[in-house]
């Protein structure tokens, strides 16, 4: 009897020792995010619980993001993160939380991750077309994370057509068009914005920008004439003076005129660089 | 006719009492109580869409409880369990096999309804509590009529599955095969719409029609339960369905239940009990 008790106690102590070792291992192990199974699998197996499955996946992903060890390269979990957000939003497109968390973590990792984030946001926009925040995330990712200002301009231009859209969307569409090289489209957007604006201060700003856009379009026309005559775009804008344009406009403060043959763009000056220069 | 109804109701009452006496059922109710109140913890993990997520959680728990009831209680009660000899005992009384089948269905449906009412009431209380404890922006809508509609839709789905369990029980001996068949039936029902959606995206026009027609008529046999899923309406501003969108699924599934029950009764009448 005593021998049995001793053996049992030994087993319990051994179990406790192994358990502590296992726990210690679990503590030092990096938290990982498992790639969720395809959305169709979840749809078939969860049935009525489809929405809850999406929400549980969201919680699992959020908990992972909250527990990532400092210093972990985001590229190591970007693929799983993108996949899981895609699965949960496809399962339940009207559930809003995944879009916010996705926007907070995914686009900043890489251009590919930003493109994935925008695919996910497009699911949200299709389900909730009047949601202005999703539109803003979608449009801003194009120019902030993907270097695709023209796509951003298109996204903001679509969003600006919504009844409750703020003037910011139309303005961003104009600025991004110019930044992407489509200055004429930007000018049209600005003129539409001016026609609909009542605030005198904002109107004055639009007018100031329209003048700059018109000056840039003159340069663009001169570039076109040069290219037609010589069969090739000039290496610098100075080559346009005086045969194609009397003088180059002085564009500064609000915008800078950038020329990378053969594309002419208008860009907002980088405020960080300016403050460093000062 | 009146006598037949009396006999059906009397047996249904026995089924209800038998169900209420079972400790497993009480355990199921307690499990569901714990699950539903778990909604109070669940919403803590959701930063924004709290109303929607809490509502989904409550309905999912009610659905899960009903599913456990159907698979582990209803299947056992309905299955032709030779050891229990319950069917033989009942049929020794002046009751026909059709009356037996209808009574069985009515009794279990009544138990299921009671379960849903208890859990629905608790779920509503939990949702109201959550709504009161978070800022309005995170829980904007909570509609009692749509909550009741979602509950009714859920109950109707359970009635369809109950009818199918009765059909399988009429044709197959033993509770375990019936349970497996019911699970297969449920997965086909939830898988078929996904297959149709996937094929619609991939197939070329020429080969589309015949396969589409086949899948469409398979959906008539294995219905798409999402037609009766109205839970997202209870706590969100999702587009309200029109009257036809509401009545058609209920009419369709009621007819489905009637047809399945009819078939089950025919099999019960002809089945050799030995």
Domain ranges of chain B: 2-270
A126 occurs within a structural domain: yes
- CA contacts within 13 A on the Cβ side of A193: 29
pLDDT at B97: 84
pLDDT by position in tens, chain B (length 274): 778 888 888 888 887 877 777 766 788 888 888 888 888 888 888 888 899 999 999 999 999 999 988 888 888 877 755 456 666 666 666 778 888 889 889 999 999 999 999 999 999 999 999 999 888 888 888 999 999 999 999 999 999 999 999 999 888 888 888 899 999 999 999 888 888 888 777 665 556 677 888 888 899 999 999 889 998 888 877 777 777 778 889 999 999 999 999 999 999 888 776 5
Q: CA A256 to CA A252: how far, in whole Å?
A: 5
Cβ neighbours for A18, distance < 8 A, ≥ 6 positions apart: none
DSSP string, chain A: -HHHHHHHHHHHHHHHHHHHHHHHHHHHSPP--PPPPPHHHHHHHHGGGHHHHHHHHHHHHHHHHHHPPTT--THHHHHHHHHHHHHHHHH-TT--HHHHHHHHHSTTT-HHHHHHHHHHHHHHHHH-TT-HHHHHHHHHHHHHTS--HHHHHHHHHHHHTSTT--HHHHHHHHHHHHHTT-HHHHHHHHHHHHHH---HHHHHHHHHHHHHHHHHHHHHHHHHHHHHHHSS--SSGGGGTTTT-SS-----TT-EEEEETTEEEEE---HHHHHHH-
For chain B, say whether A66 makes contact (Cβ under 8 Å).
no
Burial class (CB in 10 A: 0-12, 13-18, 19+), A33: buried
Return the structure tokens found at A31: 């938290």
B235: nearest CA in chain A? Answer: A95
Min distance B209 CA to chain A CA atoms (Å): 22
Domain that holds residue A62: 34-66+76-147
Cα distance between residue A76 and residue B179, in whole Å: 43
Q: Sign of torsion, CA B139 B145 B151 B154?
A: negative
Task: Please report, rounded to a whole number, the percentage of residues in chain B having pLDDT higher than 90.
Answer: 33
Q: Which of B45, B60, B232 sits opposite A49 (nearest CB)?
A: B60
Q: What is the DSSP string of B166-204?
A: HHHHHHS-SHHHHHHHHHHHHHHHHHHHHHHHHHHHH--
Q: What does the alpha-carbon distance between residue B269 and residue B96 come to, in Å, rounded to a whole number?
A: 8
Answer yes or no: are the C-beta atoms of B127 and B235 closer than 8 Å. yes
Q: Would you call A97 an interface residue with chain B, using a CB distance cutoff of 8 Å?
A: yes
Tokens of A222: 């001169």
Share of chain A above pLDDT 90, in %: 37
Number of domains present in the structure of chain A: 1
Mean pLDDT of chain B: 85
Q: A62 contacts in B (CB within 8 Å)?
A: 45, 47
Residue A175 Cα distances to A207, A209, A213, B27, angstroms: 14, 10, 10, 64
Q: Which of A40, A33, A24, A132 is nearest to A87 (CA)?
A: A40
CB A170 within 8 A of CB A193: yes
A81 CA: distance to closest CA in chain B (Å)? 18
Q: If pLDDT is split at 50, 70 and 90, which confidence band does A273 have?
A: low
pTM, to two decimals: 0.78
pLDDT tens-place string over residues A194-204: 888 888 888 88
The residue written with tokens 């728990």 in the block is: B61
Q: Is residue A188 part of a domain?
A: no
ipTM greater than 0.85? no
Angle at A193 between CA A172 and CA A182, to 5 degrees: 50
CA of B76, closest CA in chain A: separation in Å? 23
pLDDT tens digits, A196-225:
888 888 888 888 888 888 888 899 999 999
- Pairing of β A263-267 and β A256-260: antiparallel
For residue B167, give the nearest of B268, B84, B72, B40 by alpha carbon: B268
Whether B64 sits inside 8 A of A49 (CB atoms) is: yes
List Cα–Cα distances, A271 to A99, A169, A187, A220, A255, in angstroms: 29, 21, 23, 26, 11
What is the arithmetic mean of pLDDT over A4-25? Answer: 88
Selection from A44, A87, A84 nearest residue A64 by Cα = A84
Does B125 reach chain A within 8 Å, measured CB to CB?
Answer: no
Contacts of B70 (CB under 8 A, 6+ apart): B112, B158, B161, B162, B165, B182
Q: Quick check: A12 contacting B, CB < 8 Å?
A: no
**Chain B neighbors of A46, CB-CB under 8 A:** 190
Q: Are B234 and B150 in contact (CB under 8 A)?
A: yes
Q: Does B232 contact A59 at a Cβ distance shorter than 8 Å?
A: no
Residues B65, B237 contacting (CB under 8 angstroms): no
- B194–A44 C-beta distance less than 8 A: yes
């Amino acid at each position: 009897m005593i021998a049995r008790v001793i053996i049992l106690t030994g087993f319990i102590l051994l179990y406790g020792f192994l358990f502590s070792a296992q726990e210690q291992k679990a503590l030092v192990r990096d938290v990982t995010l498992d790639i969720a199974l395809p959305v169709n699998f979840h749809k078939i197996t969860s049935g009525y619980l489809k929405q809850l499955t999406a929400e549980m996946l969201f919680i699992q992903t959020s908990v992972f993001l909250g527990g990532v060890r400092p210093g972990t390269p985001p590229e190591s979990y970007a693929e799983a993160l993108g996949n899981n957000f895609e699965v949960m939003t496809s399962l339940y497109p009207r559930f809003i939380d995944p879009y916010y968390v996705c926007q907070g973590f995914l686009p900043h990792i890489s251009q590919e991750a930003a493109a994935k984030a925008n695919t996910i946001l497009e699911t949200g926009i299709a389900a909730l077309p009047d949601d202005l925040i999703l539109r803003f995330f979608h449009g801003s990712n194009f120019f902030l994370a993907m270097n695709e200002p023209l796509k951003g301009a298109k996204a903001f231009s679509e969003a600006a057509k919504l009844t409750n859209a703020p003037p910011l969307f139309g303005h961003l569409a104009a600025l991004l068009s110019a930044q992407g090289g489509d200055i004429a489209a930007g000018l049209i957007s600005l003129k539409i914005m001016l026609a609909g604006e009542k605030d005198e201060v904002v109107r004055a700003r639009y007018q100031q920008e329209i003048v700059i856009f018109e000056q840039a379009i003159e340069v663009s026309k001169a570039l076109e004439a040069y290219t037609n005559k010589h069969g090739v775009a000039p290496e610098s804008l100075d080559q346009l003076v005086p045969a194609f344009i009397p003088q180059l406009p002085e564009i500064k403060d609000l915008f800078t005129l950038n020329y990378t043959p053969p594309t002419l763009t208008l860009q907002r000056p980088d405020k960080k660089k300016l403050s460093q220069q000062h | 006719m009146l006598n037949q109804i009396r006999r059906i109701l009397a047996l249904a009452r026995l089924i209800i009492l038998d169900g209420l006496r079972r400790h497993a059922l009480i355990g199921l109710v307690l499990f569901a109580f714990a699950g539903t109140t778990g909604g109070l913890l669940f919403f803590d993990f959701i930063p924004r869409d709290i109303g929607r997520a809490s509502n989904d959680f409550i309905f999912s728990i009610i659905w899960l409880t009903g599913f456990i009831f159907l698979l582990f209680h209803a299947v056992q009660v309905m299955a032709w369990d030779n050891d229990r000899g319950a069917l033989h005992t009942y049929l020794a009384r002046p009751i026909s096999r059709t009356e037996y089948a209808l009574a069985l269905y009515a009794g279990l449906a009544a138990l299921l309804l009671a379960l849903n009412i208890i859990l629905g009431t608790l779920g509503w209380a939990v949702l109201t509590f959550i709504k009161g404890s978070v800022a309005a922006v995170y829980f904007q809508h909570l509609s009692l009529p749509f909550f009741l509609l979602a509950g009714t839709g859920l109950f109707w789905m359970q009635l369809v599955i109950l009818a199918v369990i009765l059909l399988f029980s009429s044709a197959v001996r033993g509770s375990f095969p019936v349970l497996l068949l019911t699970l297969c039936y449920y997965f086909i029902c939830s898988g078929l719409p996904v297959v149709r959606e996937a094929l619609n995206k991939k197939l070329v026009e020429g080969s589309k029609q015949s396969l589409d027609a086949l899948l469409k008529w398979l959906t008539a046999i294995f219905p798409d339960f999402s037609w009766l899923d109205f839970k997202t309406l209870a706590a969100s501003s999702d587009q309200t369905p029109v009257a036809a969108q509401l009545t058609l699924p209920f009419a369709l599934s009621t007819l489905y239940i009637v047809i399945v029950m009819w078939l089950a009764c025919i099999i019960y009448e002809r089945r050799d009990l030995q």
